Structure 1
């Protein structure tokens, strides 16, 4: 996804390769300020970027603990999807006061459509999450005198997912590679990964971006270098004869970098003008007022959760830097972030929290964790739940499996010690489901694993047609446009009911379940 290379410029710097994709579009004319810049035609692949956005936002946040995303389905009116004219978009971009060159062209337009039309739910989720994360980014950027617009980089890097982990090994909101994180002072060990700490990783990213600006003096080139590394940007500059305009270097840069800057400009546009596209931030359960308490002894999240009655997923999302639900404060103190009122409660009950089930979590006050096991939470079914198994087949992904069994992705990962969303064909997953629906979910497990007997009716056909409202796909229909026609129905609802993993895979004449009849 991204590689960070060493670049020697007065000091040895380690740089990042960001996880970006580009768009499968044709670029013809770029608009820079009031003048036109002709850009040759080329194609770049927007599908990969769209899939990444689905994975990072829809699978991670929209299927997670209800304590985190409080209102994933709420009443609002979807936009008509009307395309604004180029002149409107150009005018809006020109009104954004920014040191960035907010160029408009077909590449940028394609990403604006992706954000404002094709991936509305994901963007609304990111808008909600931005209310928590953007103040962190803005404070750090402002302190160093860097443009506040750089807060949009994590939108295209990680979709504001602090636990995002790329196939190349980049981690966190800002997608640092291991050695780059270490170079910029982030601690990374078996228990702690500060690349996932929203505060510390932001401080590191601000230093990194400042170093890049000192090299290039141009923010579009800084963003490009953040994506592909300064070595590739320098090579493009040399091959161009010394040009230092991103659009003049466009075809000399790696393919994915060509889409990275347009995606950044489109994200900037979308977060400024989301109301004009009738996008609404989805409220999230992350407390805006937080404080840290310093932990002086090894502490397990379960101890805090049970003693202060805080959902453990809230603790995890406020403290994503701790890999095993453990604050490893054995030889040094570590911070634990909680809602402000909960930090006060912690201070009042600190010793009781440390001592709660201490021998269970830390025998002889030592950091003892079973290999591959983040906690003892999967040993027995939670109250009211029963254990079933699902055997992974080719093509399965963690988020979809969680969706099939109406559980949260974070819970599925936790029960099965899944790291980086890596599962293998034939792997048997433990899933805890409602006790009164065991047979129902066992049937789903048989169907999805492909082991249903010939005499077993398909699950989708076991429900009478009269039980659901159906829609026949027409020419030009999309899942999103169909969802708009039915109150309280989202495109995710339609995909889930019809076991569709890719919204593009619908065709005219296909009959889709919309929702159960009331």
Structure 2
């Protein structure tokens, strides 16, 4: 083994239980007027922007999950008897925010408008406890980010993107499968040469993931020559940004293509600017960093043979949960190392010498149980509910347009792919797809032409291609509407919850019961739903 000393943060221990985003909506955080004038501090652009988006839930969910976890509550000091600074400023005039943003030395333009202001208020007033935890975490992570950004000659303020992406949680996992501090999706991570296997996920490695994020952002800046657009493309992909530019008549200012961008991306740059402001001026808002009450010193040992966390925990005084926290890149408690490919093992500094002294006993402990015949076997347990997508390397991408009557199961069978892969590639949640949606599907290169024909085939033809016939469906007679009830006609994008909000005194459960539905999947455009009796 080769020993290499690196200072790693034991902050990871406090984050081990954070596995994803809590889908929390708080519509009270933003109060928008009909229009607002953008004041661009550096660029000199002044234009009208209609403020009609309540975007807070798209960025506050990671923060909401942060302090609610057991690990954070137990590793950070949240004693209610602790003396904190009393009060904090509210209702500051716009001129204060504008002046402070102007005083920040930066290479990324800092615009100010009501969207930015409302994000600042979210950070400095509504989410103070979460922000104070992130301030504590930043003491470790920001030096890593800055060193990497400096390596690629990038603006150091790009480090604030990780606040928006993951709330500085190295094991954050979004509901659509983005992972790590920088929230890489599977395909992007593979393209950036991050290792993702059944055993290793480098999206969770703070150092390697940060390097990949810097390279990707540098590439995006090379395309657009504008950091706002590069940041937007990091969030929604260059294809969406290119379409927004094209639909805006070739305009390349973020604020001028604002409403051509996907909804989440509209708030991405304002949230980034607000995060930078909050961290730069946290003292002015009486925000005090909260640090974990644990040691910070750790070392890294390079491992050159298969090793299971249970073997380590059994022979030296360290809990397996602590090993998982310090080594979040290992997906099944297994380090799949060998002579030709070593992997790092991060340990508290006080455990390093114990590991070195007992290394022979550690590797030998129940060796055949964990590695029969000294080989890796398929993992049977995991420290998270991971799904491993197929590798898209060497595969051809086919774009399929969803038709009426399609569902995830049908489409996956027509293209001979797993439903779980189809969901992963296209960020499909709860199997919800819509007519006209474009789905990326990865198929063998040699079969690309065959699968591209699916877009011009009928449902019956696609079923026949997999050896299935479509039985004629007897058309049900349309039931007459009951004049004693109010009815709702289902429109594109409707959900039962959305419909219930439109009618006073009715709940989602009552709509389901009245119409004998199971869930949202029973809805179709044009359907007449019985809502309630006429008053």
The TM-score bracket by the shorter chain reads: 0.5 to 0.7
- 2:78 corresponds to which of 72, 75, 79: 72
Render the CA deviation track for 1:414-436: whole Å, top value 9, x for unaligned. Answer: xxxxxxxx99xxxxxxxxxxxxx
Comparing 82-91 with 327-336, greater Cα deviation is found at 327-336
The answer to whether the Cα contact below 8 Å between 1:295 and 1:329 also exists between their aligned partners in 2 is: yes
Residue 94 of structure 2: aligned partner: 86
Select the residue among 151, 157, 164 that pairs with 2:165: 157
Deviation at 1:318, TM superposition (A): 2.0
Counterpart in the other structure of 2:364: 355
Give the 3 Å change call, closer, same or farther, for CA 78–156 of structure 1 in structure 2.
farther
- 1:63 partnered with 2:70: yes
Name the SS of the counterpart of 1:279 in structure 2: coil
Pick from 252, 263, 269 the counterpart of residue 271 of structure 2: 263
Distance in structure 2 (CA, Å) of the matches to 1:98 and 1:280: 24
- Size of the aligned set, in residue pairs, is 356
The residue number in structure 2 matching 1:501 is none
CA contact (8 A) 1:23 1:43 kept: no
CA offset at residue 374 of structure 1? 4.7
2:348 matches 1:339: yes
> Tell me, what secondary structure is at the counterpart of 1:37?
coil
| Distance (Å, rounded) in 2 between the aligned partners of 1:25 and 1:339 | 49
Please state if 1:32 is matched with 2:7: no
Q: For 1:311 and 1:319, locate their aligned partners in 2 and report how far apart those are by CA, in whole Å.
A: 13
1:121 is aligned to 2:121: no
C-alpha distance in 2 between matches for 1:41 and 1:66 = 40
User: 1:180 and 1:345 mapped to 2: Cα distance?
Assistant: 39
How far has the Cα of 1:36 moved from its partner? 6.6
Residue number in structure 2 paired with 1:137: 145
Range moving further from structure 2, 347-356 or 254-263? 347-356
Unpaired runs of 5+ residues, structure 1, are: 1-18, 376-421, 424-518
Structure 1 length-normalised TM: 0.63
Match of 1:234 among 237, 242, 246: 242
After superposition, the C-alpha distances for 1:397-429 in whole angstroms (9 at most, x for unaligned) are xxxxxxxxxxxxxxxxxxxxxxxxx99xxxxxx
CA deviation profile, 1:249-302 (whole Å, cap 9, x unmatched) = 112211111100000000001111111111111112575443321112222223
Aligned partner of 1:303 among 311, 328, 343: 311
- Alpha-carbon offset, residue 165 of structure 1: 1.4
C-alpha contact (below 8 Å) 2:58/2:264 kept by paired residues = no
Return the alpha-carbon distance in structure 1 between the equivalents of residues 251 and 326 of structure 2: 44
Separation (CA, whole Å) in 2 of partners of 1:143 and 1:285: 32
Of 54, 57, 64 in structure 2, the residue corresponding to residue 45 of structure 1 is 54
Check 1:277–1:291 CA distance in 2 against 1; reply closer, same or farther (3 A cut): same
CA RMSD of aligned residues (A): 2.8
Distance 2:86 2:118 in 1: 20
Going from structure 1 to structure 2, the CA distance change for 1:286 and 1:38 (only over 3 Å counts) comes to farther
Task: Give the 3-state SS of the residue equivalent to 2:301 in structure 1.
Answer: strand
Displacement of 1:364 in angstroms is 4.1
* Unmatched tracts of structure 2, length 5 or more: 1-22, 385-428, 431-535
Q: What SS does the aligned partner of 2:38 have? A: strand
Mean Cα deviation higher: 327-336 or 121-130: 327-336
Offset, 1:102 = 0.8
Matched with 1:279 is 287
Residue by residue over 1:60-107, the C-alpha shift from the partner in whole angstroms, topping out at 9 and shown as x without a partner, is xx421777x242334322433522221111111111100011111100
Whole-Å separation in 2 of the counterparts to 1:201 and 1:211 = 15
Give the number of the structure whose alpha-carbon radius of gyration is greater. Answer: 2
Match of 1:201 among 206, 209, 212: 209
Equivalence for 1:428: none
Conserved in 1, the CA contact under 8 Å of 2:144 and 2:207?
Answer: yes
Deviations 1:15-63 (A, max 9, x none): xxxx99996634502111275723232311234235513444133xx42
Is residue 100–residue 220 contact of structure 1 (8 Å, CA) maintained in 2?
A: yes
Residues 172-205 of structure 1: per-residue CA shift (max 9 Å, x gap): 1111111111111111111111111111111111
Matches of 1:366 and 1:65 in 2, distance apart? 37
Structure 1 residues 81, 357: closer, same or farther in 2, change over 3 A?
farther
In 2, are the aligned partners of 1:23 and 1:259 still within 8 Å (CA)? no
Query: 1:171 — aligned with what?
Result: 179
Aligned residue number for residue 253 of structure 1: 261
> Does the 8 A contact of 2:331 with 2:382 survive in 1?
no
